[in-house]
């Protein structure tokens, strides 16, 4: 009978050990799953952080480009300064000039009009020595205000003189 009790006790110990091991195995499995989920979440957060860093760099770049674009577009209050710049530059090279505001030659389609930047057109007639006209054009290109030239006509007179008709637009903001 003692052996029956010993066998029964051993059986109980084995069953208890088996139950403990199976519970322990479930917890290990659950902890492993929790750890894998945490790793996936950490990796997703890392990717999101990289995306946010990229977006931040892109926003900074866009802001810098927008500042450059705003510097290139003429401020309405500086329109007179631009005309004076044309007059001074022409006088510097001994060129006769006539600056006339006109309607811009570029027009958008009806679907584009809501996105177009306001533009002012101009026509500039210059008369002087050919070399001086080219110097004037070089200086106009170096001007910090963006000028879109839409038409240029050079007519050479006899000798070293010529007349230059230039038509263009200036974007305003």
**3 state DSSP class of 146:** coil
User: Does 81 fall in a domain?
Assistant: yes
CATH code (residue 126) = 3.30.70.60
pLDDT at 92: 94
For 12-49, the pLDDT digits (tens) are 888 888 888 888 888 888 888 888 898 989 998 899 98
| Same domain, residue pair 66 and 109 | no
Q: Using 50, 70 and 90 to split pLDDT, how confident is the model at 112?
A: low
Residue 52 falls inside a structural domain: yes
Asked whether residue 3 is assigned to any structural domain, the reply reads no
What own/partner pairs with CB < 8 Å and gap ≥ 24 does 128-131 have? Answer: 128/90, 128/93, 128/94, 128/95, 128/96, 128/161, 128/162, 129/94, 129/160, 129/161, 129/162, 130/154, 130/156, 130/160, 130/161, 130/162, 131/160
- Residue 8 belongs to a domain: no
Asked, for residue 113, whether it belongs to a domain, the answer is yes
Count of domains forming the chain: 2
From the list 123, 114, 135, the residue with the least C-alpha distance to 170 is 123
Residues 116 and 50 grouped into a single domain:
no
Mark whether 83 and 141 lie in a shared domain.
Answer: yes
Neighbours of 162 (CB within 10 A): 18
pLDDT in tens, 70-96: 665 656 666 778 888 899 999 999 999
Residue 80 and residue 49 share a domain: no
Is this prediction's pTM over 0.85?
no
CA-to-CA distance for 94 and 113, rounded, in angstroms?
A: 40
Domain that holds residue 48: 21-72
Domain for residue 13, yes or no? no
Same domain, 59 and 95: no
82 three-state secondary structure: helix
The answer on 90 and 27 residing in a single domain is: no
- Whether residues 85 and 165 share a domain: the answer is yes
Please indicate, yes or no, whether residues 87 and 156 belong to a single structural domain of this protein.
yes
- 138-150, pLDDT tens digit by residue? 998 888 777 888 8
- Mark whether 121 and 153 lie in a shared domain: yes
Domain identity same for 48 and 97: no
């Amino acid at each position: 009978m003692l052996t029956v009790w010993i066998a029964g006790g051993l059986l109980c110990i084995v069953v208890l050990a088996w139950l403990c091991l199976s519970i322990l195995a479930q917890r290990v499995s659950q902890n492993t799953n929790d750890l894998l989920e945490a790793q996936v979440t950490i990796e997703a957060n890392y990717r999101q952080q990289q995306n946010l860093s990229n977006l931040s760099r892109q926003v900074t770049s866009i802001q810098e480009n927008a500042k450059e674009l705003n510097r290139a577009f003429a401020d309405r209050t500086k329109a007179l300064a631009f005309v004076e710049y044309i007059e001074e530059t022409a006088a510097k090279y001994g060129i006769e000039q006539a600056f006339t505001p006109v309607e811009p030659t570029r027009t958008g389609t009806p679907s584009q009009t809501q996105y177009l930047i306001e533009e002012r057109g101009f026509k500039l007639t210059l008369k002087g020595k050919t070399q001086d006209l080219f110097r004037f054009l070089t200086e106009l290109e170096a001007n910090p205000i963006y000028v879109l030239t839409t038409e240029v006509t050079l007519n050479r007179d006899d000798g070293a003189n010529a007349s230059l008709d230039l038509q263009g637009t200036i974007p305003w903001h």
